[in-house]
Amino acid sequence: MDGLAPAFLRDGPAPLRRGAPGILYVEDFDAPPREKRGMPDIITPSFTHAELEAAREEGFKAGLATAQGEHHALQSELRTAALIAIGEALATARAEAALVSQHMAGELSATILTLLAAALPAAAATLAATEIAALLACVLPPLRREPALVVRVHPDVQAETAAAIAEIWPDHAARVTIMADPTFAPSDVVVTWQEGEARRVTKTLWDELRAALAPCALPDLDTIMEGTRHGE
């Protein structure tokens, strides 16, 4: 074969002998044989399908539990915030209701006092004799041993006062002196004896009423009465 091969194959350069283009045999038969490529190794899984499913289920449950915990925590925070907001709203509403109630009470009291201030002068003038007689009925009987008494009233009720004393104290009326005082209000009366006196004065009653109502911060009675006198 070597005698038949062309000279350039026998003696030519190594590259031409091993792989020159156009040459039928380009394989170098003298080269060591190539390693045979084997099939890739098959890796046997270390977990079974059931174990993977169990792990997946466990992971799902853990994630669900975490999500539910976060949801419950968020709901708790929202409830707490809502309760705080409701409490603040109730406190504000309570304060506003107290202010409204106080205002309404003041308005109602002012209305009642205005009506009373408007009606009192007329009532005092109409019921003056009755009020004086009621006072004398309480004061005179215990004073039977007093040698002399003085009863001071407004001139308009002097005659009615004398009639009341004659009825209440028929056996002792002579010891009572009735004096007319134009500075008195029609329903005012002052009974004086040796060691004391008893009086019913409208202004004093108003002063006592004003003192009783002072802690309530209600409208001033003098202002109400002054407005009533001017038709306000």
**Which string of DSSP letters, residue by residue, matches 101-148?**
HHHHHHHHHHHHHHHHHHHHHHHHHHHHHHHHHHHHHHHSGGGTT-S-
Q: 30 versus 225: which is more confidently predicted?
A: 30
Pairing of the two strands 176-180 and 189-193: unpaired
Please give the helix or strand (H or E) that residue 151 lies within, else none. Answer: strand 149-153
Q: Is 160 part of a structural domain of the chain?
A: yes
Q: Is 144 part of a structural domain of the chain?
A: yes
Q: Is 188 part of a structural domain of the chain?
A: yes
Most trustworthy range by pLDDT among 42-56, 81-95, 105-119, 198-212: 81-95
Q: Is 196 part of a structural domain of the chain?
A: yes
pLDDT at 155: 92
pLDDT in tens, 130-165: 888 888 999 988 888 888 999 999 999 999 999 999
Q: Which two tokens stand for residue 101?
A: 């109630």
pLDDT at 31: 59
How many domains does the chain fold into? 1
Q: Is 110 part of a structural domain of the chain?
A: yes
Q: Is 57 part of a structural domain of the chain?
A: no
Q: Which domain range does residue 109 map to?
A: 86-229
Distances (CA, A) of 15 to 27, 28, 87, 160: 11, 10, 98, 163
> pLDDT band at residue 16, thresholds of 50, 70 and 90?
very low
Sheet with strand 189-193: strands edge to edge: 176-180, 149-153, 189-193, 196-200
> pLDDT band at residue 8, thresholds of 50, 70 and 90?
very low
Q: Is 150 part of a structural domain of the chain?
A: yes
- Give the pLDDT mean for 61-73: 83
Q: Is 69 part of a structural domain of the chain?
A: no
Alpha-helical (H) ranges within the chain are 7-10, 14-19, 49-139, 158-168, 202-213, 221-229
Instruction: State how far the Cα of 16 lies from the Cα of 22, in Å rounded to an integer.
Output: 10
pLDDT in tens, 161-203: 999 999 988 888 888 999 999 999 888 899 999 889 998 888 8
